[in-house]
Amino acid sequence: MLRRHFLGLVAAAGTVLGLAGGAAADDGFIVVQSTTSTQNSGLFDHILPMFRQKTGIEVRVVAVGTGQAIKNAANGDGDVLFVHARPAEEKFVAAGDGVKRFDVMYNDFVIVGPAADPAGVAGTSDVVAALQKIAEAQAPFASRGDDSGTHKAELALWAQTGVDVTAASGGWYRETGSGMGATLNTGLGMGAYVLTDRATWIAFGNKGDTAIAVQGDDRMFNQYGIILVNPDKHPGVKPAQGQAFIDWILSDEGQAAIAGYQIDGQQLFFPNAAR
């Protein structure tokens, strides 16, 4: 079973300390619109207490698919956007909804599959060739189908195969419309292949006889970025507190906190903020 972490807003209150100009106590929190992988993997449970101890700022996370997180932030429903779909993030900034995008960390995507391996792709590293074989075998493939960063990455890979997964929808290609953990559970239940970020897979506790089948392709690189929601366009944004969080995430301390998060000796995210 996927390790349980809060999805949605984490209810609590805090006090802002050390911000230029000061802030009222009821401003002692920020809302971060983020993706499910940062929450489901346990990363936020690891790093947010460190940030709050240092600054007094509480971070309330809304963990949804990247597409929904971007829509929420574009509506002004958040102070910081922390997701993993760079073209969409850059479009968000270009539209004036975000101030500036920064690289934060990366990991990679993998394709997991059943031990029976009906498409014969286990142990391979060419993700496009593997997807073509899955399609040729009409082996079950479970997609998030939710406009998340993972779903966007998956569709970009399918686009390189020449396979029309839209035409296959409802057959061997199944869209769950759910988050990563729920999609993994669904996929495992139907003996399907699933594209997942490695961090969520490492944290996922219900693996059964499913294992990583395809990994190591540079095209499966998974970059995360962070953006302050533009207070000029969205007056409800707390720019000082939001920028304090971004500055900490990009600092040596924040990057070390990300690098230090491990499960069973495996590092889940690799910091790469520009110095």
For the segment 33-51, the average pLDDT, to the nearest whole number, is 95
Question: In this predicted structure, what is the pLDDT of residue 274?
Answer: 85
d(CA 8, CA 63): 5
Mean pLDDT of the chain: 91
> What is residue 256's three-state secondary structure?
helix
Domains of the chain: residue spans and CATH: 25-107+223-271 (3.40.190.10), 108-220 (3.40.190.10)
For the segment 43-70, the average pLDDT, to the nearest whole number, is 97
> What is residue 247's three-state secondary structure?
helix
d(CA 133, CA 130): 5
Backbone angles phi, psi at 83, to 5 degrees: -140, -170
Report percent pLDDT > 70 for the chain. Answer: 90
Of 137, 17, 133, 34, the C-alpha closest to 77 is 34
Backbone angles phi, psi at 170, to 5 degrees: 90, -10
* pTM attached to this predicted model: 0.87
pLDDT digits (tens, 9 = 90+) for 164-209: 999 999 999 999 999 999 999 999 999 999 999 999 999 999 899 9
**CB-CB contact of 98 with 83 (8 Å):** no
Q: Using pLDDT thresholds of 50, 70 and 90, give the confidence band for residue 17.
A: very low
pLDDT digits (tens, 9 = 90+) for 102-122: 999 999 999 999 999 999 999
Q: Using pLDDT thresholds of 50, 70 and 90, give the confidence band for residue 96.
A: very high
Question: In this predicted structure, what is the pLDDT of residue 64?
Answer: 94
